[in-house]
Structure 1
Amino acid sequence: MQNTKFDTIIHGGIAVTPQKTSQTSIGIIDGKIAAIGENLAGTAETVIDATGHFVLPGGVDTHCHIEQISGAGLLNADTFETATRSAAYGGTTTVVSFAAQHPGQKMKQVVGDYAELARKGAMIDYAFHMIVADTGDGNLAKDIPQLIAQGHRSIKIFTTYDKVRQDDKSILEILDLAKRDGAVVCFHAENDGLIRNMTEKLLAAGKTAPKYHAESHPREAEIEAIERMCRFAEFTGARIVIFHVSTVEGAEIIRKARSRGVKVQAETCPHYLFMTTDILNSDAAARFLCSPPQRTVKDQEALWAAMEDGTIEMITSDHAPYRMDKTGKFANGTDVAFNRIANGMPGLETRLPLMFNAMVTEGRMGLEAFVALTATTPAKVFGLPGKGQLAEGFDADIAIWDPNLTRTYGANDLHDNVGYNPFEGTMVKGAPITIFSGGRIIVKDGVLDAEPGSGRLLQMSALRSHQS
């Protein structure tokens, strides 16, 4: 571009683009990336010197529980306003959260009501997964196909938990529908019978403390369910995503399925990479309960290996926030068995700094892999238009990172509504300092400048698998 008038030019940073990583400049016009080059000829109202910093696409977090009522009837701690505020501070500019159906509800009404909450509160762009708990009353025959056609092309299925889990026949029917209509089906894959069996045994033995939660979700529950869902995908030809892989065996099942041509993709989360079951021995174990639970160092190494060879292609937060009080974790009381404590942790704000520290600062996989796992691939997997890359014509969702900024997490220093930081005491080096969403600066030097409702609902485009 010659003598172009840009709205903003970001000069001199090390940028990760689809072509290469290099020192370059980025010009923004009307919320889009208009030009990328070493010597942009033009002027701009706003010029930012990013020398010495990394210029990266804003993070894309495709696994977030926001303003959602759980299967147990518990509303989680974050509204769209507080969750997207926290996401922005952490360098994430797009979230995909869950429109959660419960038995007896019409899916179209669920999505419509949820979209209204997001429209009022979200400060960054967003899309939805549809949690399907009831396929009757026209949901499978009419509502879900219509919603897919409107751009809600991701369905989530639970293979465990009362009220929301689906039996094998229903799962196969949903997979057939997704294959026909161009959607993807995501799974919380754990075997319900194994969890029930172990939970009953532990409670009968008086092993009720929070630390026994991990034993109640044995690794075999994940292994069996991932294997079964991969076989179902192979049988139907549908595309699937396995959420929050936590075990050596789970990663290997996915690796083998992909080698057979099964259309399966997978994610894991920071708490599986940086926590083990030992954390449940702490006095504050309740804050760390999640499902699947944290595993072992051996599992962590297997997950890293799976990321390195492409078996696991995404890192998401599984942000599932509950306060440490009667509104959240202790809705059933403070002295109750592990199976009556709400599961989930906040993660929207810590996901990117934790992964940057491990992958870039400490050199495990590097900058390009960091961008791919946390932004580019999630956007591609879920067909999010204009997201996840620094490329001409894409949305100007940009995070400028200071690779030398060091921080030690405190007890309650996040910008969500949860009240604690599960990574308290962890030091990270490298942090986002300036965040653009659609060309507008929404965070700069620790100050938020975004209005609730300024985010946009995204329609998922035609979805692509790793094989297409």
Structure 2
Amino acid sequence: MDFDTVIINGLIVTASEILPEGLQIGIKDGKIASIGRKLLRSDSSARVIDAAGGYVTPGGIDSHVHIAQDNSPTGDTWETATRSAVAGGTTTVLAFASQKRHEESVLPAVKAYHEKANGQAHCDYGFHLIVSNVTTDILNNELPAVLSSEGITSVKLYMTYEPLKLTDKDLLHVMLACRKLGMTTMIHAENSDMISLVIEGLERNNRTEPFYHAIARPRIAEDEASYRAISLAELVDAPILIVHMSSEKAVQHVRDAQTRLLPIHAETCPHYLFLLSDELRSCHGHDQFHGARNICAPPLRHSISDLEALWRGIANGSFTVWSSDHAPHTYDHPLGKKIGLVNGIPRFSKVPNGVPGLETRLPLLFSQTTACLPSDKARLSLPQFVQLTAANAAKLYGLADRKGAITIGFDADITIWYPQGDPKGQVEIQQKHLHHGVDFTPFEGIKVQNWPRYTILRGEVVWDRDSAGIAGTKGFGQYLKRNKGQIVVGRLGQTAEGMSEGERDFWM
């Protein structure tokens, strides 16, 4: 076969192993057509990409990003967010089409989000659906419709935020509907009433500076809600993913459920493993509000021990995916983070939650692997890196037939890193070098040991750090109709604790 592109001299990493040296990847018509030796014919016209001894991993799948949502009027567009994705080695993003509370249907939200994204993306993309107003018609008719016609196979639900939070009964109804359809249910788990009570007390005592955001959403609020989400899911035998987890105790709830083979998946994000709540106290010059840039929910936690507990969860497999939760609120904008300055007085409760992180997600985690650190210092292996950043998300969200693996027949979505120890790959993260549409990065000054040299999407180089930088074009990214997701952890059919065998049959 005469290939369009052949990648040579790379160390190919899969979700289970590092393949033997000397293997090459042949790409034809955007697909991986061959993995073998001596793929180049003497008369071949194929483009040759020399990995020069660098690691070759599947293109990243960031399965939790917020782009151009109505509640985020500043910052990233689909163009700028996906541009930053490919610059950081990510080839697929899954973002959120969000139903508003007053809407009786989810279909207008999906239509409007298509209109925003169409023709704008540098990478491939798909949608999750946020449901905030549960109706019988949505459960019985619209969820099946978006599954079949749009290939949307995941729904996100909130246990907090007044405009979005659902009752436990509504959570159960959606879990049951999604279980029946084979859709993935994602849960933002924080106890809304606990948070509301603490905020009322802080504001009554005039403690409204950015740091108090970390006080307002204590770990116990996440712990309780996570346990409750797991209990609800266990009641109806439904698989769930708890998103952006930050608490050791909450992760332990997940781990305990997983040991009982319950299909409970967990996600965490870079800011919870690299940053502490002291970032909310930070000042810059005379700007006392500077720490508001780092307001996110759940909040940054207080102690190094909190970070270490999450790293243990990475190492022991408690986490299924590693996502950015990219939330592009500009800082220096009256409708961005600074909306929390009310008549010059800081009000942390008014600051939009979320930090950017799409471009920096992969380098931050790759720098903690055995590719960059001695084995006794590394936080995870390279196969674990592939699982967390690509393979598991592809399985969970219905893309495992074409994305998330370097396998013959799959899309040629590939990230090539610099050779181990190459100084060109060693980067200090700085806002001025990033490609998003936000005016800050929470990871400013952090040094990473490697950065993607090439990002390849469906066989085309869309990022070439040594030459053009952004080498792809807006609009090359395609919308992905997804299949039903797979259960990555546990299995269905477990009897809930305290129930008799077959007890659900009386009411389900």
TM-score range, shorter chain: over 0.9
| Partners of 2:405 and 2:180 in 1: CA distance | 29
Q: Which residue in the other structure is 1:11 paired with? A: 8
Q: Secondary structure at the match of 2:241?
A: strand
The answer to whether 1:412 aligns with 2:432 is: yes
Q: Which blocks of at least 5 consecutive residues in structure 2 are unaligned? A: 284-289, 492-508
Q: Kindly report which structure 2 residues correspond to 1:116-155, keeping only aligned pairs within 5 A, or say none.
A: 116-136=115-135, 138-150=137-149, 151-155=151-155
Q: Structure 1: how far apart are the matches of 2:306 and 2:444?
A: 23
Aligned twin of 1:386: 402
Paired AA for residue 125 in structure 1: D
Of 205-214 and 367-376, more deviation after overlay is shown by 367-376
Q: Identify the residue that residue 270 of structure 2 maps to in structure 1.
A: 270
Counterpart in the other structure of 1:303: 310
Match of 1:51 in 2: 52
* Residue 457 (1) aligns with residue 494 (2): no
Contact 2:15 2:391 (8 Å CA) reproduced: no
Conserved? CA contact 1:315–1:374, under 8 Å: yes
Aligned to 1:395: 411
For 1:133-212, list aligned pairs within 5 A: 133-136=132-135, 138-150=137-149, 151-212=151-212
SS at match of 1:85: helix
Q: Tell me, yes or no, if the aligned pair for 1:67 and 1:80 is still in contact at 8 Å.
A: yes
Match of 2:108 in 1: 109
User: Partner amino acid for 1:361?
Assistant: C
Q: Would the aligned equivalents of 1:31 and 1:440 in 2 still touch at CA under 8 Å? A: yes
Bigger fraction of residues in strand: 1
Secondary structure at the aligned position of 1:272 is classed as helix
Q: CA 1:19 to 1:202, structure 2 compared with 1: closer, same or farther past 3 Å?
A: closer
Q: Which amino acid aligns with 2:337?
A: K
One-letter code aligned to 1:5: D
Supply the AA of the counterpart residue of 1:391. T
**2:502 match:** none
The amino acid that maps onto 1:381 is L
Deviation at 1:298, TM superposition (A): 1.4
Instruction: Tell me by how many angstroms 1:332 deviates.
Output: 4.7
Q: Is the 8 Å Cα contact of residues 183 and 485 (structure 2) preserved in structure 1?
A: yes
The TM-score with structure 2 as length reference comes to 0.88
> In the TM superposition, what is the alpha-carbon distance from 1:179 to its structure 2 partner?
0.8
Count of matched residue pairs: 462
CA contact (8 A) 1:118 1:453 kept: no
Contact 1:158 1:188 in 2 (8 A): yes
Does residue 490 of structure 2 align to residue 467 of structure 1?
yes
Aligned amino acid, residue 359 of structure 2: E
Are the equivalent residues in 2 in contact too, given 1:407–1:427 (CA < 8 A)?
yes
Post-superposition offset of 1:140: 2.5
Partner SS state of residue 450, structure 1: coil
Q: Structure 1 unaligned runs (5+)?
A: none
- TM-superposed CA distance for 1:44, in Å, is 4.1
CA contact (8 A) 2:340 2:347 kept: no
Bigger shift: residues 331-340 or 275-284: 331-340
Checking the alignment, whether the CA contact within 8 Å between 1:410 and 1:424 is kept in structure 2 is yes
Residue 361 of structure 1 corresponds to which residue in structure 2? Answer: 372
CA drift of 1:142 comes to: 1.9
Moved more, 425-434 or 363-372: 363-372
What residue identity is the alignment partner of 2:327? A
Q: What displacement does 1:139 show?
A: 2.3
How much does 1:306 deviate?
1.4
Using the size of structure 1 for normalisation, the TM-score is: 0.96
Distance 1:17 1:258 in 2: 24
Counterpart of 2:78 in structure 1 is 80
One-letter amino acid matched to 1:419: D
The 2-side partners of 1:153 and 1:170 are apart by 19
Alignment RMSD, CA only? 1.5
Shift in alpha-carbon separation, 1:68–1:76, aligned structure 2, 3 A: farther
| Pairwise CA distance, 1:261 | 2.4
Taking the aligned partners of 2:244 and 2:16, their CA distance within structure 1 comes to 30
CA distance in 2, matches of 1:291, 1:462: 29
Q: Distance in 1 between matches of 2:112 and 2:236?
A: 32
Answer whether contact 2:340 2:348 (CA < 8 A) is retained.
no
**Which of these residues, 334, 337, 340, is aligned with residue 347 of structure 2?**
337
Cα distance in 2 for partners of 1:290, 1:307 equals: 21
Q: In structure 2, what is the Cα distance between the partners aligned to 1:18 and 1:168?
A: 36
Secondary structure of 1:6's match? Answer: coil
Aligned to 1:352: 362
Secondary structure at the aligned position of 1:83 is classed as helix
Cα distance in 2 between the residues matched to 1:17 and 1:298: 31
Whether the aligned pair in 1 keeps the contact of 2:25 and 2:34 (CA below 8 Å) is yes
Q: Distance in 2 between matches of 1:429 and 1:107?
A: 43
Q: Structure 1 residues 237-246 or 327-336, which shifts more?
A: 327-336
Bigger Cα displacement from structure 2, 269-278 vs 302-311: 302-311
Distance (Å, rounded) in 2 between the aligned partners of 1:88 and 1:301: 29
